[in-house]
């Protein structure tokens, strides 16, 4: 998702950087021309589009102050996807470590609070009131200590996801396909409870990986009294 009307800024030395990475990842032939700019995306995004003989690259402006090795790693990963090559781990490691660092994730969340608007949809559905369910769960499982984020039903039906928590705008959105009389309230409660746990247990780094569902998260998730029944119902709904 990128803000409309935003204009990018040229990356000094960007074309030479991409041409260099084109050769280093094993692409054959003369490197093409690249136009590289920083762009005000709402997350750590890198995109590439070909227009005629020129490849237009946009780095998220979160990388504006990143070290050269980080930009090189990002370029190598992007070109490897496009030209089906496998870059060395040493080449891409600086970017991956930068992207997964706590400092970068904190900057992403701060940026998203400014650039991403909370969902405009209402928490009051036709059959389930998410604010009332949140307050009930907050008292029963969190001792009323969890600050309520923005909550809403999705504006459209999602195909594969029942709920999500975005720490940037601090919002929980649930798939409106569950706002039906055939979906028991305990199922909606479980999905909302799961997302509330993401508020309590933020994604953290462990070594080179990011963990969204830690052992503590999974153990606490099973405290929900209808855990097994809700999971079984959702499995049938997804199938």
Does position 4 have pLDDT exceeding 50, yes or no?
A: no
Q: Which two tokens stand for residue 176?
A: 């409106």
CA atoms of 202 and 147, how far apart (whole Å)? 14
| In the chain, % of residues over pLDDT 90 | 67
Q: Tens of pLDDT along 135-178?
A: 999 999 999 999 999 999 998 888 889 999 988 788 899 999 99
Summarised one tens digit per residue, pLDDT across range 119-142 is: 657 899 999 999 999 999 999 999
**DSSP per position, 120-145:** -S-SB-SS-BHHHHHHHHHHHHSTT-
Mean pLDDT over residues 92-120, rounded? 82
The CATH code that applies to domain 130-238 is 3.30.2010.10
Q: Supply the pLDDT for residue 208.
A: 45
pLDDT digits (tens, 9 = 90+) for 72-92: 999 999 999 999 999 999 999
Assess whether pLDDT exceeds 80 at residue 230.
Answer: yes
Nearest to 99 by CA among 136, 141, 62, 54: 62
- 75 vs 118: which has the higher pLDDT: 75
Q: In this predicted model, which residue has the larger pLDDT, 159 or 179?
A: 179
Alpha carbon distance 35, 208 (integer Å): 31
Beta strand segments in 132-219, E? 150-153, 163-166, 171-174, 204-206, 209-211
Specify the CATH number for 9-115; select among 3.10.450, 3.40.50, 3.30.2010, 2.60.120.
3.30.2010
Every domain of the chain with CATH number 3.30.2010.10 lies at 130-238
Taken in order 110, 204, 154, 127, the sign of the CA dihedral is: negative
Please report where in the chains the tokens 């589009």 appear, as a residue: 49
Calculate mean pLDDT across residues 224-234. 96
Mean pLDDT of 199-209: 68
Task: Answer positive or negative: Cα dihedral of 102, 96, 169, 191.
Answer: negative
The model's pTM is: 0.59
* DSSP character at residue 119: P
Euclidean distance between the first and the last CA atom of the chain, given in angstroms as a whole number: 29
Mean pLDDT, all residues of the chain: 88
What percent of the chain shows pLDDT beyond 70? Answer: 91
User: How many CA atoms lie within 13 Å of 32's alpha carbon, on the beta-carbon side?
Assistant: 17
CA neighbor of 177 nearest in space, from 166, 188, 190, 186: 188
Rounded mean pLDDT, 217-232? 96
Contacts of residue 14, defined as CB under 8 A and 6 or more positions apart, other chains included, come to 34, 35, 36, 37, 57
What are the residues facing 37 on neighbouring strands? 10, 58
């Amino acid at each position: 998702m990128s803000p409309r009307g935003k204009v990018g800024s040229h990356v000094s030395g960007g074309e030479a950087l991409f041409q260099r990475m084109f050769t280093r990842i094993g692409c054959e032939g003369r490197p093409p021309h690249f136009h590289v700019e920083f762009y005000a995306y709402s997350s750590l995004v890198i995109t590439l589009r070909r227009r005629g003989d020129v490849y237009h690259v946009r780095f998220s402006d979160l990388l504006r102050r990143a070290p050269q090795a980080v930009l090189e790693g990002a370029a190598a990963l992007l070109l490897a996807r496009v030209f089906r090559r496998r870059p060395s781990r040493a080449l891409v490691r600086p970017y991956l470590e930068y992207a997964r660092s706590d400092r970068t994730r904190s900057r992403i969340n701060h940026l998203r609070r400014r650039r991403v608007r909370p969902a405009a949809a209402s928490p009051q559905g036709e059959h389930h009131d998410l604010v009332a369910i949140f307050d009930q769960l907050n008292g029963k499982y969190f001792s009323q200590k969890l600050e309520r984020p923005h909550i809403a039903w999705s504006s459209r039906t999602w195909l594969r996801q029942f709920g999500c928590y975005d720490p940037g705008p601090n919002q929980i959105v649930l798939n409106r396909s569950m706002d039906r009389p055939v979906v028991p309230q305990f199922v909606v409660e479980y999905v909302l409870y799961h997302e509330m746990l993401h508020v309590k247990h933020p994604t953290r780094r462990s070594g080179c990986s990011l963990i969204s569902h830690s052992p503590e998260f999974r153990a606490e998730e099973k405290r929900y009294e209808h855990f097994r029944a809700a999971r079984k119902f959702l499995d049938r709904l997804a199938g």
